[in-house]
Amino acid sequence: MIKKHIPNSITLLNLFSGCVGALFALKGEFTFALYAAVFSGVFDFFDGMVARLLKVNSPLGLQLDSLADMVSFGFLPGAIIYTLLGEYFYNPYVPYIGFLITMFSALRLAKFNLDERQSEDFIGLNTPMNTFVVLSLPFAIEVLPHWSWDWFLIAFTVVSSLLLISEIRLFSMKIKSFEWAENKYRYGFLLLSLVLLILLQILAIPIILLLYFLFSFLYFSKK
C-alpha cells in the first residue's frame, strides 16, 4: 500500500516546487524561480522512473503528473513572462499576454495524454524544455539590457505557444538501451548541451533548444 503512493508523492513535490517557483517569479526573484523549476524537473523525471521500477503505474499517476506539470511548466513560465512584460509596458493589460504560454501549455498537456503517437517521442515542444527557455530570458536581459526586449517578449510568447502545439517531432530522453547506434543523436545532444551549460550556464538554454530541434530532425530523418 505504501509502495504505490511513492511515485505520486514525488509528483506532488513537483507541484509544490512549481507553486513556490511561480510565487518567486511574480515577485521578480528569477534566480529562486529557476532553482524551483530545476527541482520540479528532477521530481518530474524521477516520479515516472520510480513508478516503473516499483511497477505501480496507474491512471491516477498519469493524471496527477499532468496536473503538476500544468503548474510547474505551464503557470510558472506564464508568470515569468507576465512579470517581465510588466517591467516594459505601462499598459496594465499587456503583461497578461504572458499567460498565452499557460493556456497553450494546458492544451499541449491535454493533447499529450490523448495522442498515442507520443508514447515514445514528442510531437510539439515539451513543456519542461519550454519553461527553461523562458527562465533563461531574465538572465539574458541582464546581459543585454539595452536590447529591444519589449516586443521581442511578445513575439517570443506567441512563437513559444505555437511550438507547444506544433507537429514538430522531437525525440524524448527515454533510453531503452545504452547502445551507441540506437542513441547516438541523444548522446551527441547531451554532450554538446553539457559543454554549453559549462561555458554559458543558463544562457546556453536557447542554443540548446536549437540543437534539440536540429538533432531531432537528424534523428527522425534517419528512421
Instruction: State how far the Cα of 195 lies from the Cα of 60, in Å rounded to an integer.
Output: 38
User: Mean pLDDT over residues 203-217, rounded?
Assistant: 95
Q: How confident is the model at residue 175 (pLDDT cuts 50, 70, 90)?
A: low
Question: How far separated are the first and last CA of the chain, in Å rounded?
Answer: 42
Q: For residue 183, what pLDDT is reported?
A: 80
Q: For residue 103, what pLDDT is reported?
A: 98
Can you spell out the DSSP letters for 2-67?
A: -GGGHHHHHHHHHHHHHHHHHHHHHTT-HHHHHHHHHHHHHHHHHHHHHHHHHT---HHHHHHHHH
Q: How confident is the model at residue 52 (pLDDT cuts 50, 70, 90)?
A: confident
- Average predicted confidence (pLDDT) for the chain: 91
Instruction: State how far the Cα of 82 lies from the Cα of 135, in Å rounded to an integer.
Output: 12
pLDDT at 83 over 70: yes
Query: Residue 128: helix, strand or coil by DSSP?
Result: helix
pLDDT at 56 over 80: no
Q: For residue 82, what pLDDT is reported?
A: 98
Q: Which residue has the higher pLDDT, 6 or 15?
A: 15
For 98-119, b/e burial (b = at least 16 CB within 10 A) is: bbbbbebbbebbeebeeeeebe
116-174 pLDDT, tens digit each: 787 778 999 999 999 999 999 999 999 998 889 999 999 999 999 999 999 999 998 77
Q: How confident is the model at residue 177 (pLDDT cuts 50, 70, 90)?
A: low
85-106 pLDDT, tens digit each: 999 998 999 999 999 999 999 9
